[in-house]
Structures are given as C-alpha cells and as structure tokens.
Amino acid sequence: MADPFYITTAIAYPNGKPHIGHAYEAIAADVIARHQRSEGKAVRFQTGTDEHGLKMAQKARDLGVTPRALSDEMSSYFRAMCDTLNVSYDVFQRTTDESHYKASQAIWQAMEANGDLYLDRYEGWYSVRDEAFYDESELVAGEGEEKLSPQGTPVEWTVEESWFFRLSAYQEPLLAHYAANPAFISPESRRNEVVKFVEGGLRDLSVSRTSFDWGVPVPGSPGHVMYVWVDALTNYLTGLGYPEKTPEMERWWPADIHLIGKDIVRFHTVYWPAFLMSAKLPLPRQVFGHGFLLHRGEKMSKSLGNVVDPLELAETFGVDSLRYFLMREVSFGQDGSYSAEAIVTRCNAELANSFGNLAQRSLSMIFKNMGGSLKVDLAIAPADAGLLHTVAESIACMREAFTALDFSGGLDAWMRGVFACNAYVDEQAPWTLRKTDPARMEAVLMTLLKVVRDLALAVRPVVPSAIDRLLDQMGVAADARDYAALDDKSWLSDLAASGFSLSQPSGVFPRLEVPVGEEA
C-alpha cells in the first residue's frame, strides 16, 4: 500500500468572493498534491470554507438574508474557483456541515475533560475582521486615538461572559515541541516569530461568544457559540470522521502539511497544537505559512481598486499559464508580485517559446521527416547520451526542490533541462541531417522525443491540462504519467511495437498578449 500524504489548505472565509490570494494557496496546494501523487504517495487533499462567526452574521444582516443562505451562496464560489483552476481536492469541507458540528463539539468536550476549559468574563480587544483577540501590548496606533490590531484591522473593546481555554498551561509543551521538531513551522522566518511570541508568555484564550449565535453551540452551555477558530481548525479532523476512530483517522492523521497564509500562522502553530495536545491527539507534521501576493508591488484592497478576480485572470491568460506563473515567479514562503505584463513575459518566454516550441518543433519534424513513425535501436552518439543525462539531472533537482516546497527553484532546474534541449536542437540541426545523414537525423529526433516526454512528465503537476494534451499527442498512456514512468526505458519500443505513429501536432502553449488597458 502506498504511503499516505495528507495536505490541507486553510479554509476560506466566504464573506466575499475569492481573490487571487485564495487562488494562489489552492494552486500551490494542488501542485504539492499532484507532485506527491507522482512520487507514488496516496494523497488526501482537503480544502473548504469557514462559514461561522460575527463577520458572516453581520454581512448576512446587511444583505437581508440568513447566514446559512449567505454561506451556501458564497461557499459555492470557492468550490467553483477550485474546479476552474483544476485543483484536485478530495474533500471540500464546509463548517456548516452537520458532521463538523459533531467534530467541533467532540474536541471541545475532550478539552473540557482534560480540565482546560473554564467559565469567566472576557474584557479585552477584539478584531471582527480577524476574528481574533489581542492584548493591549500588541495593538498599533491608527489615526487619531484609534487602535488597530497587528494586522492593521479595527479592534473594539468587548465585554461578555466567555469560556476560556488554559493556553497558558501549554507554553512549555509548545516550546518543547518546536525545539524537537524544527520543521513543524516553516519557513524559518515564521518559526522564529512564533517561538518569540510563545516565549513572551501565553494568556488564556477566550473560546466562546454570547454576542451572536451564528456558530457551533457550546455543549452544555446555552447561549454560547464556539470562538470561530476552535470551530474552523477542527475542520482538518472533520473530514476524517472524528471523533469516531475511522479508518480515515487511522490512515491520514496527523496531517503532513497545513498550507496557510502567513497572517494566520499563530492560530495554526500556537492555538491549534495546544487544542490537540489538550484533546490528546497527535500534532500535524508541518505548518507552512506562505507569503502574500501583491499587485504591482501593492497589497490588494478594494479602496485602491486593485483587487483581481482569479477567474478573470484564468479566462484571460489560461489556467495553466496562471498556475505556472504563480509557482515560477514567487519564491514560495515570501511575498511576491504579479501583473499582466509579468504573466505574459514569463509564460511566453518559458512555456510558449522555450518548452512549447521545443515540443512542437520536435514532434513536427518527426511527423514531417519520418512520417510520424517511431524508430528504436538507433545508434546513440555522445551528444545524445549527454542530453539525456542533463535532462535527467534537471528533473531530479526539480523533484527534490518540489518536495522541499521550493517551486520557483524546481522550475528553474526544469528550465535548465529545456534550455539544454534547445541548444541540442541548434547544434544537431536535424533539418540539415535530413539531407546529409538521415539515420543520424532519426537518432536526434528520437532523442528529442524522449526528453520532451520526460520534461512533460516532470512539469505535469504544475500545468496538468496542457501536458495531458501534449502526452495524448505523443501516445503516452494515461496511467504512465507519474515520475515512475521516467524510469521506464522500454516505453518508446513498446509504443513503436504497438504501431503508434505521430499525427500532425498542435501546440499546447499559445503565446499570450497583454490585454488592452492592462499595461503599466
């Protein structure tokens, strides 16, 4: 049985439609999931929506609809975004599902049984937008006497009866876990921030609200609903059947990676592991906090008018081009910037001109000069062997980088293989060999067929639709498109023996143009 790999995204808060940040995280998680599947792992990939809390209740009230109706509508947009962007999730978990209420109440009762919940009165600063409580020392100055959260969001003084979680009891256990598991929080910059925060001391956390009722009811405490982060974080267990001891819980928990934005690292690396410790459940193996996407170097906001619909970007440039750009352009874990020009420049240079042209030229020459037939047992020259070795090395580097979540570095290694192939074409000049040495031309073209196929298999997690169209043209079987197929040295002879011949190829990476009005 294949080794399991469980990956989750943060579940999106659907008080607005998806933006490019949601798409970025979903695509990155999908690339990880597809990469791990190609490595032979059995992957479970979960995403979804976080639908409770005061923000949703207020938005529904403003629109004159029920919170449930708003949740149903808005959640559907996030599912549609994932489907449009070819995100291969296995589970789309909604926090309004009945099974999620059961799981959230079960983890609450487990924490209560451990003596970690008590009833008291909360007086302090609360950010509705962040759904987070902040200490006075964490606030920053706004305009005039206004106080803001560390995220720059408005805070309000809140006074109400609340259940508290004994977070203070978990300071030392958390620090011990961070020390024993250095990769638990990644990248290192996020780890350093969290360790410093926890070393500064932890206060008990208010974990219920009475000022609104749109949430999971606290068991045995009428009028209280769970603080949205207790409810939201539990989603990672809900999809596995918690609290039942299901085969899914047995196989998939703990998660291998929670992929999240850097703004919610604290919730996932302080609160969540403390809740799990209290409930006597294993901790996830890694929490990775990626950076933000900036539009032309600016943070996106409605007031600046630079919020971009990811589905419009996909419509304009193509899903695969958008996926490639986001994984190639941004050093994963850091903030990155995008623009229409940047997408066009990067994708034209690398997908259309370099790899797309390599594939199109190679297949076209086989079709035109060899009638599309495949030849085997041809003499291998040192240049051919050298290219095969260079491409294999570039793919090995790419796979290693992808496992380490270094997508831009991995694609840089992949491009080294592509550049080597294009240099080989220019050096070997098969169009000249056709007249002077037809047998050598055939050897060159079959070498190119091999490397195009291998490079396609390698980059498939990033641009799956385009690569599948290319591999279809090449006769590569649908069940032979993972990394294991790279080690199959008989695929070409098997394909030739089947009588397959190449038809007139069509390009899979069209050249892009900057839309009118999008220029900087």
pLDDT value of position 214: 95
pLDDT value of position 131: 79
Q: pLDDT for 43-86, tens place per residue?
A: 999 999 999 998 899 999 999 999 999 999 999 999 999 999 99
Given pLDDT bands bounded at 50, 70 and 90, which one contains residue 301?
low
Residue 303 pLDDT more than 60?
Answer: no
Q: What is the mean pLDDT of residues 341-359?
A: 97
Question: Quick check: helix, strand or coil at residue 52?
Answer: coil
Annotated domain spans of the chain: 340-497
Q: pLDDT for 476-513, tens place per residue?
A: 999 999 999 999 999 999 999 999 999 999 999 999 99
Q: CA 63 → CA 94, 100, 292, 302, distances in Å?
A: 21, 26, 29, 19
The model carries a pTM of 0.94
Q: What is the mean pLDDT of residues 213-225?
A: 96
Distance CA 360, CA 357 (A): 5
Residue 257 pLDDT more than 80?
Answer: yes
Q: In b/e form, how buried is each residue of 334-343, taking b as 16+ CB within 10 angstroms?
A: eebebbbebb
Residue range 340-497 forms a domain whose CATH class is mainly alpha
Given pLDDT bands bounded at 50, 70 and 90, which one contains residue 132?
confident
More confident residue, 133 or 281: 281
Q: CA 492 → CA 92, 450, 453, 455, 480, distances in Å?
A: 39, 8, 10, 15, 12
Q: What is the mean pLDDT of residues 110-125?
A: 94
CA angle 304, 305, 310 (to 5 degrees): 125
The residue among 364, 377, 368, 363 whose CA lies nearest residue 496 is 377
Residue 299 pLDDT more than 80?
Answer: no
pLDDT value of position 389: 98
More confident residue, 132 or 100: 100
pLDDT value of position 204: 96
pLDDT value of position 135: 83
Burial (CB < 10 A; 0-12, 13-18, 19+), residue 503, is exposed
pLDDT value of position 151: 82
pLDDT value of position 519: 57
Residue 520 pLDDT more than 60?
Answer: no
Q: What is the mean pLDDT of residues 263-277?
A: 97
Given pLDDT bands bounded at 50, 70 and 90, which one contains residue 124?
confident
154: which strand partners? 148
pLDDT value of position 159: 85
pLDDT value of position 297: 61
Which phi and psi (to 5°) does residue 253 adopt? -95, 135
Mean pLDDT of the chain: 94
Do the Cβ atoms of 158 and 126 come closer than 8 Å?
yes
pLDDT value of position 27: 98
Distance CA 275, CA 95 (A): 18
Distance CA 295, CA 301 (A): 10
- Taking each helix axis from N to C terminus, what angle separates 464-473 and 319-329, rounded to the nearest 10 degrees? 120
Q: pLDDT for 358-403, tens place per residue?
A: 999 999 999 999 999 999 989 999 999 999 999 999 999 999 999 9
